[in-house]
Amino acid sequence: MGRKRPEALRLPHAVIGSAPHSPRGFMDFDFDTPLELWDTHSSKFDSIPRVFGTDDRDVIPMWVADMDFAAAPAIKEALRAEIERGYFGYYANTSPVDMVVADWLKDRHGWEIDPSWVRYTHGVISGFGDVLATYSKPGDGVILFAPVYHAFYRQIEAMGREVVESLLKLVNGRYEMDLDALGAALKGHEKVVVLCSPHNPGGRIWSAEELRQLAEFCAAHDLILISDEIHMDLTFPGHAHVPTCVAAPDHIDRIVVLTAASKGFNLAGGETGLLIAPDKGIRTAIDKTILDRESSPNRFGIAMTRAAFESSGDWLDALRVYLAENFDIWKDRVGAIPGVSVMDMHGTYLSWVDFTGTGMEDAEIKARILNDAKIAASPGTQFGTGGSGHMRFNLALPRATMMTAIERLEAAFSDLQ
């Protein structure tokens, strides 16, 4: 696009530290040392007594979708710089950060955007609500490909819209959309389709052809397509995320992309999401909704987002290797438990595990995992139709902790051996 790159992020002091001894050839990032996260206002840890009904601190949290790892050095330095400045007022002029976002999307994902397309929301679900408020009204249908991220259900229902589920098909061990069945079931009140890409909880990276077909379906039925791409940066080495707008350039007049640095770089507490709409008409309509809220970007979330995309790619690449190795171990061991299967995945850190082969009901599966294995995991029933008999496990934790969780699961289901 010939745009001028933003001025480099100034840090109080340099962050260096090569590790030639590392077998992976990365900088010396530590994902193995456990952080003490109890009593730190971590939702994943400190909400366990309320959500799971136990105050046993031997329970391993594997539910909330954030990571048990310290943030990348450049992100911590960016926050220190904000604190040292000492000014915490309203934030304006995001244009330097817009260009950093655009460069990241182009360099990492092959999606060339105009920086002016970028909008900032208070998290992806906040942006999701903005799109629903703009393009639907109470009583309208919002299509979800189930099972899928549970927060979509809550937001749709809270806004008085109707959840319309399109059940994903299990084909050769992976999920696929069934657009023929969805088309036959439409009632005419549906206004919005929501795609989770990469998929949560299945870890599926949709192909360019699948994305193109979905965009064509939306065009044929006059539907707005929300593509939630928050897990875009968490693909395993050897696999690549396909942006929906890259796969379907002829239909960007109806696509809104929601994403963030928060999943890839563990920044959820910064409450900063990205809403990107290539179409001017869509941007104008959503801008009115955002303006009506009279909100401004989170200063600290913006600082973290910029430091993530501008200065933390090496940390992310080391993380992706670590997560892929965690999953390989997890799949081999947990998938060997009789009656249990682990869905293969090429991205995210959220493993979708099928316990239906054990013949157990959801309540017994959950009880064994919580009470016997002492693991707090997400029940599959939270993810809508198709989730029964499944559990979702967060593998973004130190390997030794994950190994303990595996051993506990093996013991909890040892009677099936």
Describe the strand order of the beta sheet including 350-354 as a list of residue ranges: 60-62, 375-379, 390-394, 350-354, 341-342
The answer on pLDDT for 6 being more than 80 is no
The answer on pLDDT for 7 being more than 90 is no
The answer on pLDDT for 13 being more than 80 is no
68: which residues sit within 8 A by CB, 6+ positions away?
34, 35, 37, 44, 61, 396, 397, 398, 401
**pLDDT averaged over the chain?**
93
Q: Tell me: the pLDDT tens digits for 362-417?
A: 999 999 999 999 999 999 999 999 999 999 999 999 999 999 999 999 999 999 87
Which pLDDT score, from 0 to 100, does residue 230 have? 98
The answer on pLDDT for 18 being more than 50 is no
Which pLDDT score, from 0 to 100, does residue 23 have? 38
Which pLDDT score, from 0 to 100, does residue 1 have? 37
Q: Tell me: the pLDDT tens digits for 318-361?
A: 999 999 999 999 999 999 999 999 999 999 999 999 999 999 99
pLDDT (mean) for 56-71: 97
pLDDT (mean) for 284-291: 94
Tell me the two tokens of residue 91.
Answer: 């934030």
Q: Where are the domains of the chain?
A: 43-73+313-416, 87-311
* 152 class by beta-carbon count within 10 Å (0-12 exposed, 13-18 middle, 19+ buried): buried
Instruction: Please provide the CATH number assigned to the domain covering 43-73+313-416.
Output: 3.90.1150.10
CATH 3.20.20.140 given to domain 87-311: no
pLDDT (mean) for 142-153: 98
The answer on pLDDT for 37 being more than 80 is yes
Which pLDDT score, from 0 to 100, does residue 16 have? 25
The answer on pLDDT for 293 being more than 90 is no
